[in-house]
Amino acid sequence: MGKEKPKVQSILESVFISAIDKLSKADAGRLVGELYIQLDMSTGEIQVYDDQEILLEKNIIFDWADRSEKGLRSYKQPVHFIRVALAGLKSKKVFDNPVFMRPLTILLVDDNFNEIEMIYMLEDVDAVSEGRLMKNLEHELQIFSKKLFADME
């Protein structure tokens, strides 16, 4: 299994890079906030769709085909591999593409595009930092107000 992991990760990364390239070339003014992933565990096929349910890329990962697990359990290992691949792509700044809104949510969906599981979410780092800053400022403002109006209490 250890030898298969880099091969699977490489395939997954290439699927997502190809899908992102297609999004970038498709419509310059469009922003995407969600990507949908469908898995067919009987064939090992992964399909990536944009938020308008347009197929961007697909590929077959033979290591996933005909697994003995059934139902949601069959998705556990493939979802793990997808998460690892997405984290690798994030570190390579692949998702810094201007076509993506924040937060960008990547969802595992069924054939009808009903959500099965959220696989990954990319948030805007500046917004998170700003939120923490505002909490600290609010606390400091409360302390300042108490000191300022101490004689009125």
Question: Average per-residue pLDDT in the chain?
Answer: 82
The predicted model scores a pTM of: 0.74
Per-range mean pLDDT, top range of 17-26, 59-68, 144-153: 17-26
In the three-class reduction of DSSP (H, G, I as helix; E, B as strand; rest coil), residue 134 is classed as helix
Of all residues in the chain, the percent with pLDDT exceeding 90 is: 49
What average pLDDT score do residues 58-79 get?
79
Model confidence at 41, pLDDT cuts 50, 70, 90, reads confident
pLDDT in tens, 111-148: 999 999 999 998 865 444 344 445 556 666 667 667 77
| pLDDT the model gives residue 139 | 64
In the three-class reduction of DSSP (H, G, I as helix; E, B as strand; rest coil), residue 39 is classed as strand
What average pLDDT score do residues 33-41 get?
93
How many CA atoms lie within 13 Å of 26's alpha carbon, on the beta-carbon side? 16
Higher-confidence residue of 131 and 16: namely: 16
Nearest to 64 by CA among 42, 92, 86, 85: 42
Q: Are the beta carbons of 98 and 90 closer than 8 angstroms?
A: no
